[in-house]
Structure 1
Amino acid sequence: MMLAGLLAGVALPAVAEVMDTSPRPKARGGKASATGGEVAGGQAARKPVDAEALIAEAKLGGSVAFVVMDAATGEVLQAREPDLPLPPASVAKAVTALYALDRLGPGHRFVTRVLATGPVQGGMVQGDIVLAGGGDPTLQTDQLGDLVARLAKGGLKGATGRFLYWDGALPVLRGIAEDQPDHVGYNAAISGLCLNFNRVHFEWKREGADWRVAVDARGERFLPPVGRVRVAIAQREAPLFTYAPGQVEEWTVASGALGKGGSRWLPVRDPGAYVAEVFRTLARAHGIRLEAGERSEALPAGRELGRVESEPLPVVLRDMLKFSTNLTAECVGLAASGLSTLDASARAMSDWVAAAFGVEVDLHDHSGLGGRSRVTARGMATILQRAEAGRRGLKPILRDMGMKDDAGKEIKGHKVKVLAKSGTLNFVSGLAGHVVPPAGGRELVFAIFSGDPARRDAVPVALREGPDGSAAWTKRARRLQGRLISRWAATWS
């Protein structure tokens, strides 16, 4: 049943927040009181919320840390373990959004181009055709198909030379985190050419004693098959998947998990070659004859024949924060730093946080997916408070999470907004953002981190997509977050 649950009905959008772990900042000023309140500016804070009872009721184990402060002044109103470094999970993406806005600018767009290294005569490029990626993490098959259609309408028929692709705008990395299973789509490969969040659609249907299997790069209007990824059904109960890299990426799936039919997205580990194959398939369907793609180590000089532009950076980041897309976070972070490894890029972002906000963080990627990053509740709340004071553009693109009742359900039509970024990993949960009351109320900034990293680390890598107990733990952690926020809003907003 568990295996079937991991497979059946999971042809999800590429943008889904998923389980994973870790980041870190340090606190400044104030001393925690024995009741969990904070002495700020030498004056006793108002009576704090009874957080200990709520935490005890949640029965999470591990650690729970939080800070809630006045958004205008930065005065800490209540805190618990404010300086304890814990994994922020996808809350780290809020830091990445700030970093990208500062380094790339709100007008930045990612561009994917088609170049010709020679003149076009009679529809034929007298030279090579080049698909040049610009690190766009949001490129989808339909956009690529529309680009090809425009080229064909303009009379392009092919090239006398090669079909090249260049994916060097970003480092080519086979995944974000080493401590994740091979088959999880949220641990995406990274490249200057990306498509469909670097995943292929795998679909199966029982036909007698066998299965019909299809692998494609589907969009809403285009359905190009993919040959460089193959999936075979193996007569076994476990393991759920096996993966073998190569020029053709080979997967096997346990027959015992398949049932009568279903689908899911699988990661692609060589995105540049994948995008080139899909582009060639779409081109040939429009009468543009191209040879198999060859990777170019350097960007060839050439005249632009066509392009696809991403949405402006704030829109890209808004969707990243809403859907928690790990690939987007890593691509924008790497583009902002210009560095060649995730660890170096995240270290540069950590240094930028220290310079911009006076907060120490220890980040090892831009998405929060890896297991080594750490952040403190005070540090995260301070970043948010100072970012808003400096009008850095994060708050307008945060998602309204809604005020929750004690059962964890959103209270529809509530006048208080909770603009925040959540983070969810195995036995790790975070939430940080703004509590925005109606006009005249007191706005709050908060960060809540709950985590049991030792419990997470004890889960075998192959089982980390959804280990026993993690879903129930996450539900309790999120309910605790909602209960804390509702009481803070009632007390101080």
Structure 2
Amino acid sequence: MSNTTGTDSRRARRSRGSGGLVQGLRTSIPPVLVTLLLFVLAVPAVLVVAPGFVGPGSPAPAPSAPAWQQLPATISAPQVLAPLQQSAPVPLPSAVTAQVDPLLKTDGGGTFTGVVQDASTGQVLFDRGGAEGRVPASNLKLLTSVAALRTLGPDHRFATKVLRGPAPGQVVLVGGGDVLLGAGESQPEQTLGHAGMATLAALAVDALRAAAATGEIKVLLDDSLFTGPALNPAWLAGDVEAGEIAPLYPLALNSARFDPAVATGPRPQDAAMAAAEEFAARLRAAGAGAGLTVAAGVDRSPGAATAAGAAGQMAQPAVLAQVESATVAEQVDLMLQVSDNYLAETMGRMTAVATGRPGSNDGATAAVGAEAGAAGVASDTIKLADVCGLALGNQVSARQFADVVRAITTGADSRLRGALDGFPVGGLSGTLDTRYGDAATAGGAGLVRAKTGTLNTVLALSGYVVDADGRLLVFSFIGNGLTQGAVGNKQALDRAATALAGCGCR
């Protein structure tokens, strides 16, 4: 209590003292000066108290940012390649020959042939044995690409279907040409794995549930779309054993690979059955929550997609579910970029089916040869043993390949433009990603776009390039009988193509 009383007493004395001071000022100083003094004392108090009522004052202006951090006043023009001009000068054949001929020499045995053409006019600018039939290796995939784009169309997709089976409790998985199926969910943004078995199984379970299906479900496999031998007898046993190719079926996971990330080594020898067993496993997992059970094992039942109808007539059974592949153009691009033999052979057989031929190797080679001719390539001397280029019995000339590239780049059939993105780019992508890195070829990096071809004694490079004057040139160089493993041969091809990229050959 004493402490409280003492504090209040001191406050009272301070209050009286302040009042006395003001009163003294009032009696001793004129009223005008008193008013002025009070105003001077009040201004600082207002400045201290006012922010509590009106908020903080405006912040100090930020220091000006450097020009490179400020928003642009205008949008810069995009930096893109200028369109090709028809007025760009056509190189002189003598000048092109002088540039290319000394570079195109073998490292050891064998010979190179080659052709360079102006893409717009077709004028031949360089020709060394260009009409001679050669083993082309994977350059053959260019012919297969043209055939697929012409017959199937760049926007076509292959459907993998699940149909109601010929007997109660059966479903039929039908291969429709998609060998890039994934095991999991569909990945619409991808080419490999665009359609997935897990997605197909989930859709099939939904359809079975809607149909009030009960009991055990048996999966059958229909892979009858392809006929004839699954392995081409023209392929060397060593190439099959090394995983360069595998038996052909109209459906497969990962282009008939065990693992999509592993492109070498052993492959499934029955890719269709491996895909069907994966589907059955996914169906079993998806159906568990819906009260459906799936029988163990898958039975192959070619032709099971056609079930007996009323009065003995044959009728197409109901489609329970289906998933679709990436487009033909997207698959062609992948095939050319990574030089996928299995995908190329599949494209050839699907081309055969689309033209009314059997889905066999013979049907594929006949269809690809015919479509090359229809695209404007003089095809009477073309000899095909397969459509991926693995067989040594293929014979195609450098002139024919230059004509094929010309048809893709500037020909009248715009469907063939679907193959343009598939050409590997020197030093950047696909099978050319590790080339064009030395001093002699760096000038072609990012400029040379070409399909490679490699067998033990065969090297090929066919593609296109814009020269230093802005002229589009197409070319094909093919080496046969080469010394196996001689590093100078690839360098010769790359240096010749680089010379074209830098050519102001006037």
Please state which band the TM-score falls in when normalised by the shorter chain.
Answer: 0.5 to 0.7
Query: What does 1:143-182 correspond to in 2, within 5 Å?
Result: 143-152=196-205, 156=209, 160=216, 162-171=218-227, 173-176=229-232, 177-181=234-238, 182=240
Range 475-484 or range 340-349, more displaced: 340-349
Tell me how far apart the structure 1 counterparts of residues 492 and 214 of structure 2 sit (CA, whole Å): 60
Aligned partner (choices 115, 119, 132) of residue 71 of structure 1: 119
Q: Would the aligned equivalents of 2:158 and 2:325 in 1 still touch at CA under 8 Å?
A: yes
1:172: how far off?
Answer: 5.9
CA distance in structure 2 between the partners assigned to 1:343 and 1:450 by the alignment: 27
Name the residue aligned to 1:407: 438
Residue 398 of structure 1: aligned partner: 422
Cα deviations by residue, 1:68-88 (Å, 9 ceiling, x for unpaired)? 111111111112121221111
CA separation of 1:366 and 1:481: change in aligned 2, threshold 3 A: same
Number of the residue aligned with 2:110:
62
Q: 1:350–1:290: structure 2 CA closer, same or farther, 3 Å change rule?
A: same
- Alignment partner of 2:366 out of 338, 347, 351: 347
CA distance in 1, matches of 2:161, 2:400: 40
Query: Paired residue for 1:284?
Result: 284
Change (3 A) 1:302 1:160: farther
* Change over 3 Å in CA distance of 1:395–1:341 after alignment to 2: closer
- For structure 2, the residue ranges without an aligned partner over 5 or more in a row are 1-89, 185-195, 307-315, 428-434
Larger C-alpha radius of gyration, 1 or 2? 2
In the alignment, which residue of structure 2 is the partner of 1:274?
274
Matches of 1:109 and 1:47 in 2, distance apart? Answer: 42
The residue correspondences of 1:40-439 to structure 2 (distance < 5 A) are 45-46=94-95, 48-56=97-105, 58-117=106-165, 126-142=168-184, 143-152=196-205, 156=209, 160=216, 162-171=218-227, 173-176=229-232, 177-181=234-238, 182-200=240-258, 265-286=265-286, 287=288, 288-291=292-295, 292-298=297-303, 299-300=305-306, 301-338=316-353, 339-360=358-379, 361-387=382-408, 388-390=410-412, 391=414, 392-394=416-418, 396-402=420-426, 405=436, 407=438, 411=442, 417-437=447-467
Tell me how large the CA RMSD over aligned residues is.
3.1
1:478 shift after superposition: 1.9
How many Å separate the matches in 2 of 1:297 and 1:159? Answer: 24
Aligned pair in 2 of structure 1 residues 341, 60: CA closer, same or farther (>3 Å)? farther
Equivalent residue letter for 1:49: A
Residue 155 of structure 1 and its aligned partner are, at CA, apart by: 6.3
More helix by share: 2
- Which residue in the other structure is 1:246 paired with? none
Q: Deviations over 1:4-59 (max 9, x none)?
A: xxxxxxxxxxxxxxxxxxxxxxxxxxxxxxxxxxxx9xx96436235454344x41
In 1: Cα distance, 2:274 partner to 2:109 partner = 43
Kept in 1, the 8 Å contact 2:350–2:359? The answer is: no
8 Å CA contact retained: 1:359, 1:383 = no
Secondary structure at the aligned position of 1:373 is classed as coil
**Residues 422 and 44 from structure 1, CA distance in 2 versus in 1: closer, same or farther, beyond 3 angstroms?**
closer
Count of residues in Structure 1 that have an aligned counterpart in Structure 2: 368
User: What TM-score results when the alignment is normalised by the length of structure 2?
Assistant: 0.66
> Which residue is equivalent to 2:479?
450
| Pairwise CA distance, 1:479 | 1.1
Measure the CA separation in 2 of the matches of 1:159 and 1:129: 13
Cα deviations by residue, 1:314-365 (Å, 9 ceiling, x for unpaired): 1111111111111111111111112243134213321332243141221221
Higher RCO structure, 1 or 2 (CA under 8 Å, sep 6+): 1
| Aligned residue number for residue 488 of structure 2 | 476
For the structure 1 residues 437 and 395, does the alpha-carbon distance in structure 2 shift closer, same or farther, using more than 3 Å as the test? farther
Conserved in 1, the CA contact under 8 Å of 2:276 and 2:298? yes
CA–CA distance in 1 between the matches of 2:249 and 2:260? 20
Q: Which has the higher strand share?
A: 1
The one-letter code sitting in structure 1 at the alignment partner of 2:241 is H
Q: Is the 8 A contact 1:408 1:482 kept in 2?
A: no
| Residue 193 of structure 1, CA deviation | 2.2
Distance 1:219 1:199, change over 3 A: closer
Gaps of 5+ in 1: 1-39, 119-124, 201-217, 221-261, 456-469
- Aligned amino acid, residue 108 of structure 1: H
CA contact 2:115–2:476 (8 Å) conserved in 1: yes
1:358-397 Cα distance to aligned partner (Å, 9 max, x none)? 4122122111111100111111112222342223325522
Identity of aligned residues (%): 27
Task: Say if 2:441 and 2:494, in contact at 8 Å, map to a contact too.
Answer: no
Q: Measure, in 2, the Cα distance between the counterparts of 1:141 and 1:179.
A: 30
**2:246 aligned counterpart, secondary structure:** coil
* Alpha-carbon contact 1:70-1:443 (below 8 Å) kept: yes
Letter in 2 for 1:134: G
Q: TM-score, normalised by structure 1?
A: 0.67
Cα deviations by residue, 1:254-296 (Å, 9 ceiling, x for unpaired): xxxxxxxx99642222222222222222322332532321112
Q: CA–CA distance in 1 between the matches of 2:139 and 2:444?
A: 25
TM-superposition CA deviations, 1:401-445 (whole Å, max 9, x none): 22765837874996x62222111111211110110247x611100
1:482/1:425 CA distance change after superposition, 3 Å: same
Q: Distance in 1 between matches of 2:299 and 2:133?
A: 46
